[in-house]
Amino acid sequence: MRTEEQYDVFAKRMEAKYPKMFAKPYGGFAVEQGWWPIIESLCGQIQSYTDWWNKNRELRPVVEQVVVTQIKEKFGGLCFYYDGGDDKIHGMVRMAEAWADHSCEECGAPGTSGGKGWIKNLCPTHRAEEDARYEERGVMVAAVFLLVIYGGMCVIVPMIGLGLFVGIGTILAIARIVHYSEHGN
């Protein structure tokens, strides 16, 4: 798991290195740190390609500056959304996303998707940790569920008892009233 400090260092470095790509609100890097080097390499490749291509702008059509709109994980895969660019940049992005598909999102080591919880690309080590956490969560959910049931019973059972007590008492009282009114004693 990443720390807030690690995230801040990475995000600030990216925004400082590639100010044109992160010129608009993009919602941050919503992926774990194992994929950060992939994103950093991708941004580096995109910006240097764009700058190099556009140096000779009188000879060729200009590559529109890429502006990142969102970076996130979806169904275990990396999603890099942006405006601008061209076909070559599209290919770079697809390559980076394919690379992430085979990299642990936690540490960047070779990984696969699957597991017991959410779909996530992880190496065997982080897969084992994630599955253990998932099972722990399952036990917690079961414990909370049983506690709620038990709590409910603790309230409902005495209520039923009280209800029966009041109900029978009322019936007896009515019976007595009827008895008195009929017999007068």
| Alpha helix stretches (DSSP H) within the chain | 4-17, 36-55, 87-101, 124-183
- Shortest Å distance, C-beta 88 to Zn ion: 31
Q: Which stretch binds Zn ion (CB under 5 A): 5-13, 52-60, 118-126, 174-182?
A: 118-126
Q: According to the binding rule CB under 5 A, does residue 123 interact with Zn ion?
A: yes
* Minimum CB distance to Zn ion, residue 123 (Å): 3
Tell which positions 8-47 bind Zn ion, by CB under 5 A: none
How far apart CA 161 and CA 165 sit, in angstroms, is 6
By C-beta, is 3 or 181 nearer to Zn ion? 3
* Residue of 66, 106, 121, 130 that binds Zn ion (CB under 5 A): 106
CB nearer to Zn ion: pick between 46 and 123: 123
In the chain the first and final C-alpha atoms are separated, in Å, by: 82
The only residue of 20, 44, 107, 129 in contact with Zn ion, by rule CB under 5 A: 107
Rounded to an integer, what distance in angstroms lies between the CA atom of residue 39 and that of residue 46? 10
Only segment of 15-23, 36-44, 51-59, 109-117 that touches Zn ion (CB under 5 A):
109-117
Estimate the crossing angle of helix 87-101 against helix 36-55, to 10 degrees. 170
Tell whether residue 130 is a contact of Zn ion (CB under 5 A).
no
CB-based burial, 58-68: b 16+ in 10 Å, e otherwise = eeeeebebbeb
